[in-house]
Structure 1
Amino acid sequence: MSAAARSGPVRALFVHAHPDDESITTGGTMAQLVDAGAQVTLLTASRGEGGEVIGAAHQHLEGDRAGLAAHREGELARAMAALGVADHRFLAPVAGRFEDSGMEWGPDGHARAPRHMPPGALCRAPAEAPAALIRAVVEEIRPHLVITYAADGGYGHPDHRRVHEAVVAALAGLRGRIEPTLLFVETPAEAVAAAFDPTRPGFELTGFDPAPAPANFPAQAPIAVAQDVSAVLGRKAMAMAAHATQITVAGEFFALSNNLGQAIGAVEYFSHAAYPGPEPMPGAPYASVLDVAAPDAAVGGDFAERGAETERGAAPDLAAGPRGAAGTGASAAAEGPAGAAGAGGGAAAGSAGGAGHGATGAEPAADPAEPEASAAAPRPAGRPRLSPWAVIHTLLVAVLVAFLGTMQHLNATAVSLGGQQLVLPWGLVLALALAAAAMWHVSVLYRSTMLLVVTAVIISLGSFALGQPGLLPGHDLLVVNTLRSVGWLFGPMLIAAVLAFALPSLKRRPARP
């Protein structure tokens, strides 16, 4: 799709069953869409009233469905702040209509509906009840992308399955008036195995238990998008950690109430409703969900002109489409590089099956000779724009460490050992440890080598400035002819060099299933 075909920001709607599902399965994609200038909306069906509470600090919420619902609303708000998502809604305006159904484990190792459920349980409601509310949101925001669970619900949770059914029914009920691309969250079998691998470096430090067997269903449909979210994995981890009643995060691993450890997903996978298999989508797997977003014509091309731009303003083309414009129909045709994909409600992939609304449509492939030199180049997937807050936060941390380290680094203690006087430079050790902790914090949080280097440079330059006679508090804080001061001046740069090559958070991962 050419840049001229996009009249405003890409709009994406994520539909999930409970608070925390969005951060675990799609948090990285949401953050990258926000960074790319997209308008992201999260729609959560329940408030997670039936979740098992972890952590001694929150045990008073166990069994208190109303109290836990209110608490998890706050957790979700904090998670969305970490991801930068401003538009997050619940399916029902008040608690109690679509409640967390709960679940129990079946003999096959997957989740199933519990024997005892509240009257307002989500999975008890007919699919059309939540579908009508989802349809209203789709009609309001006219998304180019709708993303939800596959038919199996990931690991079989009955609420996940019901949300899948409701989303498919909601789009079918639009009867082709709005035809967004419908994507399902999937995980290839090899990715499931790798996530639960207890031999991964660092797992032994988490305190989590190894899983005897993964509970997730492996992907049944071909992977259409493999979105590398390693560049925002720190923000994804922060969003997950915000759900403290449900998730424990330790480094690059997490566990739910069962304490079974798994790696935080650095690649998020999606199947396309129009390509349930066995043949994959032409050109797949794409590197970003933006690459398969529906064209403006499929969702109402004049929507942006009717005042739907976000406060960020209109963005350039963010979705250089695949060969032919891809839609979400239950049936689609793709004949070679110039083929076109149908646009409709989507047929569900997976073991439980699903229904699409069957409308089809096509957009001719762009003329290769069409001049696009003036089009703004899309930002590569996995390389988010650093926010002003990230830069400000880094500068504040570096200045604080420079001041504290300079004040501390000359402290030492003389001890006698075998008749010899030894000087223990504990002040320098503490100062360098503080600098290392600050640089590790910035690196893991923002996944940026540039900010790591900036932190080290500011610490060294700030320390040098504090040692100048013309500045307060004066040159006596930094005596440059001592080894301790030399170590403090150059130590942060050496630490930064080590971290830049050693930290997994700063290494790129291939976006392949």
Structure 2
Amino acid sequence: MNRTAGMIALTALTLAPAHGQETLAPAHGQDSRAEAQRVLVVVAHPDDELFMAPAIAALARQGAQVTIIHATSGDAGPGVSSLTPGEELGRVRAMEAFCSVNALGATSSVQFDLGDGTLGLDAHHPGSPARQLVSRLGGHLAQVSLVLTWGPDGGYGHADHRMVSALATQVVQAMPDAERPRLLYVGIPAGGRPPVPEMAEWAVTDPALLTEAIAYTPADLAAAQAAAQCHVTQFDEATRAGMMPLFGATMWQGKVHFRPAF
């Protein structure tokens, strides 16, 4: 995700949620079917899961088997740490991702380690990171009923985010109808973008297109808060404390918004 600043904490304190967080079933599963659901979350970097964190926690709480795939190790992004980009940073961020996945109650964490910033490089060439991602994703989609990923905007346009969205879509659209999971793109409703300079260029989506939503409870938001605390290399202490309350008061307001890919 975009490296937001500590001022997020101060902004969050000035924003009261628009309404209370009600305990509602996610829009995709309004009965006990969620207990048998297998869900795949496909993102580019450790910490990208935070953009839909309370939805992941809600699905896991309701019994879904949630696997989070990080396509890269995030080895190029030192964030607020003093670590040099490279293998050591990748190892640390992988541990942060594992911490976050556990906090959200997901079933498993998968690291593809394809190289931060590489997914768009020579994407059409044999053996490219993009080709590898397509090949490896196929092995994780058997019996999955729901896939969550970035929208085509990639949040704020990050090339890896955009490529993860495009490549996940490529794999899912090629599947037979009887086996194809629902594919949802996470989005910020227009008018709901958090009012901090660091997110001024983040993409928004017409709310009329965001026809799917996964509601969350205060406990799910608390799990998201715990997940944010895991990403020490990427966000300072104030940002880790303020990020989830800010998102909850602005772009989420009790439910994480998605639009169907098809």
TM range (shorter): 0.7 to 0.9
Letter paired with 1:37: G
- Provide Cα deviations, 1:326-355, integer angstroms capped at 9, x if missing partner: xxxxxxxxxxxxxxxxxxxxxxxxxxxxxx
In structure 1, runs of 5+ residues without a counterpart are 102-120, 197-209, 256-261, 275-513
For residues 370-449 of structure 1, the aligned pairs below 5 Å read none
1: CA distance, partners of 2:62 / 2:78: 35
For residues 46-445 of structure 1, the aligned pairs below 5 Å read 46-54=72-80, 58-59=81-82, 61-63=83-85, 65-91=86-112, 95=113, 98-101=114-117, 121-124=118-121, 125-126=123-124, 127-139=130-142, 142-192=143-193, 195-196=194-195, 210-211=196-197, 214-220=200-206, 222-231=209-218, 232-250=220-238, 253-254=242-243, 263-265=246-248, 266=252, 267-274=255-262
1: CA distance, partners of 2:232 / 2:212: 30
Aligned residues: 220
- Identity among equivalent positions (%) equals 28
In structure 2, runs of 5+ residues without a counterpart are 1-28, 125-129
**Residues 226 and 269 of structure 1 are in contact (CA less than 8 Å); yes or no, is this contact kept in structure 2?**
yes
1: CA distance, partners of 2:258 / 2:31: 24
Partner residue of 2:36 out of 3, 6, 9: 9
The TM-score with structure 1 as length reference comes to 0.40
How far off is 1:176 after superposition? 2.8
1:183 counterpart SS class: strand
How far off is 1:213 after superposition? 6.3
Aligned to 1:28: 54
1:68 counterpart SS class: helix
1: CA distance, partners of 2:202 / 2:56: 22
Aligned CA distance change for structure 1 residues 7 and 222 (closer, same or farther; 3 Å): closer
1:167 counterpart SS class: helix
- Provide Cα deviations, 1:194-218, integer angstroms capped at 9, x if missing partner: x22xxxxxxxxxxxxx417612111
Aligned CA distance change for structure 1 residues 244 and 226 (closer, same or farther; 3 Å): same
How far off is 1:264 after superposition? 3.0
1: CA distance, partners of 2:74 / 2:31: 41
Letter paired with 2:166: E
2: CA distance, partners of 1:7 / 1:223: 20
1:190 counterpart SS class: coil
Aligned CA distance change for structure 1 residues 83 and 123 (closer, same or farther; 3 Å): same
RMSD: 2.6
1:244 counterpart SS class: coil
Letter paired with 1:87: S
Aligned CA distance change for structure 1 residues 81 and 3 (closer, same or farther; 3 Å): closer
Aligned CA distance change for structure 1 residues 237 and 132 (closer, same or farther; 3 Å): same
The TM-score with structure 2 as length reference comes to 0.76
1:215 counterpart SS class: coil
Aligned to 2:20: none
2: CA distance, partners of 1:249 / 1:189: 29
How far off is 1:133 after superposition? 1.1
**Residues 228 and 268 of structure 1 are in contact (CA less than 8 Å); yes or no, is this contact kept in structure 2?**
yes
How far off is 1:38 after superposition? 0.8
Instruction: Point out which structure has higher relative CO (alpha carbons under 8 A, 6+ apart).
Output: 2
2: CA distance, partners of 1:2 / 1:39: 16
1:19 counterpart SS class: coil
Aligned CA distance change for structure 1 residues 2 and 16 (closer, same or farther; 3 Å): closer
For residues 477-488 of structure 1, the aligned pairs below 5 Å read none
How far off is 1:130 after superposition? 1.3
- Provide Cα deviations, 1:92-131, integer angstroms capped at 9, x if missing partner: xxx4xx1111xxxxxxxxxxxxxxxxxxx12213444311
1:189 counterpart SS class: coil
Letter paired with 2:96: E
How far off is 1:229 after superposition? 2.8
How far off is 1:3 after superposition? 6.8
**Residues 128 and 169 of structure 1 are in contact (CA less than 8 Å); yes or no, is this contact kept in structure 2?**
no
**Residues 53 and 224 of structure 2 are in contact (CA less than 8 Å); yes or no, is this contact kept in structure 1?**
yes
